[in-house]
Amino acid sequence: MDRSASASIASFTANPPLYSFPVPSFLAPLKAESFSSLYTTLAILASLLVLEQAVYRYKKRHLPGAAWTIPLIGKFADSMAPSMEAYKRQWDSGALSAVSVFNIFIVMASSNDYARKILNSPSYAEPCLVHSAKQILRPENWVFLTGKNHIEYRRGLNALFTRKALSIYVGIQEAICRKHLTRWLEIQEKNPNSQPIMMTARHLNMETSLGVFCGSHIPEHAANAINDKYWDITQSLELVNFPLALPGTKVYKAIQARKVAMHWLELAAYKSKIAMANGGAPECMLDEWVLSLADPNYKGRKEFSDTEMAMVLFSFLFASQDAMSSGLIYGFQHLADHPEVLAKVREEQDRVRQGNYAKPLNMDMMVQMTYLQAVVKESMRVKPPVLMVPYKATRAFPISDDYTVPANSMVIPSFFNSLHDPEVYPQPEEFLPERWLDPEGSASKNPKNYLVFGSGPHRCIGLEYASMNIALVLATASVMLDWEHDITPQSYLSKIIATVFPKDGCRLTFKPRTLA
């Protein structure tokens, strides 16, 4: 055999093995070059992986959390199927703990002090929601403003949630609520099996929100179109999602849904301006806004385009839809699971309504429902509609004496531990509305722990509206319906999705209430 044209063999081998094949001499340099390129590529990849681990450990320092991060993806698998149990383990590992997902370094804050510090430090951290949020809500939306611009913009919206404004909304809310509760009974009559309530409650909330925001300026078929598309927006705002708006992706579908909603909301703003200019009486939030801008005593910005007004309403819709639906669902579930509490709610309804259950509700009547208010407050404490809100550290954030959150990291305050602190809320897992009736009780005397609506400059602007809406629906349901909870494996929040509640986790059976 011509050894110059064959693969080399060891000198101690007497004869070439049968698997030695001739290799043309002109390929020998290429083989060596390929090996060198492969070696270089592997060396670079290994260096990057080592660097990834070093950076993670440098940022993590002494915080509880995995000692090493899974290369490239980190805790991606856990984030795709989050569970309440896993979150509790993370929160209980330390007041501050660390995790990494796709090389995004995340600091989790589980104590009340650290959660409040994040929420009240706008010079160090700002809400970032999720990666796709700006694509869906639009980057120019007011919710992404910070500092003085945010404060001034928010101040101009406060008039939409005054006692006077809320009084206008009560009638709209009750009329829509009664329509939907009647529909629930009709559906139940046709199908005696228990019904998943999540999407049903979302539909009620959607029509209520659009009715309050836009009144008659938005037609019913438009409200239905927005409702049909809105689930696409919810799915796109999961904590981890494919970020590019390519056709077929969740983000792409959400943007199309937003376009549908914005079209009708802009048209409603246009119609409201015309109606108020012609001397019409205010019948919804848009009308209140237009009138407040025209008030000679109003000192803020006076000109808002139809698009700007629509973006504000769209942000309210986003804020109210998922969280408020979860709060309402758990309200129904808690009352079904605690018939003695439902009985007290009904006693209060009889007293406030003076036995006239057909009488329209008004704001004065809602204020008198103190026990129901305690029920709603306790329901949202036990099962908070929002467990955490992602923030981004805009610069190095010295959150404690011995730890600084690195700039551009996510820092996420959790509300669960604050709302289940046994020193503030004895028997924290128990549903006990009475704890809110004693002004000297630990619950009432520690408002800093009640982070259901957040804290600081980005605290929920519509918290009174949200609480009132849940209370109004439960009040109306308590006099119109009886219901039972069909307990399922998902009834008590084992999985967490964007809406905080499994799509068919809570199943109820309704029937008309029989009055003695």
- Distance (Å, whole) CA 363 – CA 356: 16
Domain 131-512 sits in CATH 3.60.15.10: no
- Distance (Å, whole) CA 81 – CA 482: 35
* Contacts with 204 (C-beta within 8 Å, 6 or more apart), sequence order: 176, 177, 180, 328, 473
* Distances from the Cα of 361 to the Cα of 57, 332, 466, 471, angstroms: 58, 20, 17, 12
Phi first, then psi: give them for residue 46, nearest 5 degrees.
-65, -40
Q: Please list, residue by residue across 148-174, b when 16 or more beta carbons sit within 10 angstroms of its beta carbon and e when fewer do.
A: eebeeebebbebbbeeebbebbbbbbb
| pLDDT on residue 132 | 77
Q: What residue ranges of the chain have pLDDT lower than 70?
A: 1-35, 72-74, 76-82, 238-243, 489-505, 516
Return the amino acid letter for 172: I
Where do runs of H (alpha helix) occur along 110-238?
112-119, 133-137, 147-157, 163-190, 198-214, 220-236
* CB atoms near residue 260 (< 10 Å): 16
On the CB side of 235, CA atoms within 13 Å amount to 15
3-state helix, strand, coil in the chain (%, to 5): 55, 10, 35
Q: Read off the pTM.
A: 0.86
- Distance (Å, whole) CA 273 – CA 285: 12
Would strands 410-413 and 104-109 be described as parallel, antiparallel, or unpaired?
Answer: parallel
Q: What is the SS3 assignment for 485? A: strand
- Distance (Å, whole) CA 345 – CA 351: 10
Return the amino acid letter for 113: D
At CA 81, angle to CA 75 and CA 87, rounded to 5? 70
* Contacts with 160 (C-beta within 8 Å, 6 or more apart), sequence order: 285, 288, 289, 292
- Distance (Å, whole) CA 237 – CA 235: 5
Phi first, then psi: give them for residue 145, nearest 5 degrees.
-75, 155
506 is in an annotated binding site: no
Q: Residue 97: which of 120, 75, 70, 73 has the closest Cα?
A: 75
User: Residue 68 corresponds to which tokens in the numbers above?
Assistant: 């090493």
Return the amino acid letter for 266: E
Return the amino acid letter for 138: R
Q: Residue 366: which of 178, 173, 216, 161 has the closest Cα?
A: 173
* Distances from the Cα of 150 to the Cα of 90, 314, 319, 328, 476, angstroms: 32, 17, 17, 29, 37
pLDDT single digits (tens) 32-63: 566 677 777 878 777 777 777 888 888 999 99
- Rounded (10°) CA dihedral 31, 36, 39, 40: -140
Return the amino acid letter for 2: D
Q: What is the SS3 assignment for 132? A: coil
Q: What is the SS3 assignment for 393? A: strand
DSSP assignment, residue 84?
H
| pLDDT on residue 312 | 95
Q: What is the SS3 assignment for 412? A: strand
Distance, first Cα to last Cα, the chain = 108
Q: Residue 201: which of 470, 475, 492, 13 has the closest Cα?
A: 470
* Angle, helix 370-382 to helix 463-480, in steps of 10 degrees: 110
| Longest CA pairwise span in the chain (Å) | 111
- The count of residues in the chain is 516
| pLDDT on residue 300 | 77
- Distance (Å, whole) CA 111 – CA 91: 8
Burial label, 475 (beta-carbon count in 10 A; 0-12, 13-18, 19+) = buried
* Angle, helix 463-480 to helix 306-337, in steps of 10 degrees: 50
> What residue segments make up the domains of the chain, in order of their start?
131-512
At CA 253, angle to CA 322 and CA 462, rounded to 5? 25
